[in-house]
Amino acid sequence: MTMGYRKVERPALGLAERLVFPAILKGMAITAAHLFEKKVTLQYPEEKHPLPEYYRGVPSLVKDEAGREKCVACSLCEFICPPRAITIVPEERPGGGREEKQPAVFDIDMLRCIFCGYCEEVCPEDAIYMSKEYEIVGRNREEMVFRKERLYEIGGVRPNPIRKWTNADDEAAAQHGHGQGG
């Protein structure tokens, strides 16, 4: 294959360009104009970039509008978690009724978490969500393991459109009431 080539016409330098100084002054005019241009700096701790809706930050646990844990400690997120960042120890939920389990321990090791979002995808109870929190700091490894309390703090309350626990509670109350009454 022969190499194609193209002859580049270089424009001859005019007097102003060969004297250099006029060109330098032109450049200085440009930089001087930029002095007064609007600055693009985002002043980080006070200002933050707007995050897209699909942003995946720290995985967090959420409560329903009545402040109840949604998590039933089914451990699906623990099983699917690719880097095995999640540790769940289930316990029996006091108070009877149809709800059976709750997590006694729910740790996410943020040193391991890869923010893949599988836990959110897999959760049958919509109890774990990827938050928009990304400022993850700790003074040691121990602090980087986020405990249940911290995860709830980050997640906050997310009302459940299905109102599953509410219905279950009503049901349980009805059953209970029926049993007592009978």
Partner 1 sequence: MTAAAPDRYDATSWRSPWPEWLPDFAFQALGIFLVLQIPPLLVTVLVWAERRVSAWMQDRLGPNRVGPFGLLQSVADLVKFIFKEDHVPGQAHGVLYTLAPALAMVPGLVAFSMLPFADRFMVSDLDSGLLLLLAISSLAVYGIQIGGWASNSKYALFGGVRASAQMISYELTLGLSAAAVVLLAGTLNLREIVRWQQDHAWTVAVFPAGTLAFVVFLTSAFAETNRLPFDLPEAESELAAGYHTEYASMKFALFFLGEYTAMVVMSGLMTTLFFGGWTLFGLERCFEGTLWQTVLQSGIWWAKTLFFLFVYIWVRWTLPRFRYDQLMRLGWKVFLPLSLGILLAAAGTRAWAFGG
Q: Which residues bind partner 1 (CB under 8 A)?
A: 21, 24, 27-28, 30-32, 34-35, 37-41, 43
Beta carbon of residue 31, minimum distance to partner 1 (angstroms, whole number): 4
* 102 strand-pairing partners: 91
Q: By C-beta, is 17 or 121 nearer to partner 1? A: 17
In angstroms, the CA 47 to CA 150 distance is: 24
Q: Is 39 left (phi over 0), alpha (psi -120 to 50) or beta?
A: beta
Residue 37 or residue 142: which is nearer to partner 1 going by CB? 37
- In the sheet that holds 86-92, the strands lie side by side as 86-92, 101-109, 145-146
The nearer residue to partner 1, 2 or 41, going by C-beta atoms, is: 41
Instruction: Find where tokens 């602090």 sit.
Output: 143
Which of residues 38 and 178 has its CB atom nearest to partner 1 in the complex? 38
Cβ distance to partner 1 smaller for residue 16 or 28: 28
As measured in angstroms, the least distance from the Cβ of 134 to partner 1 is 22
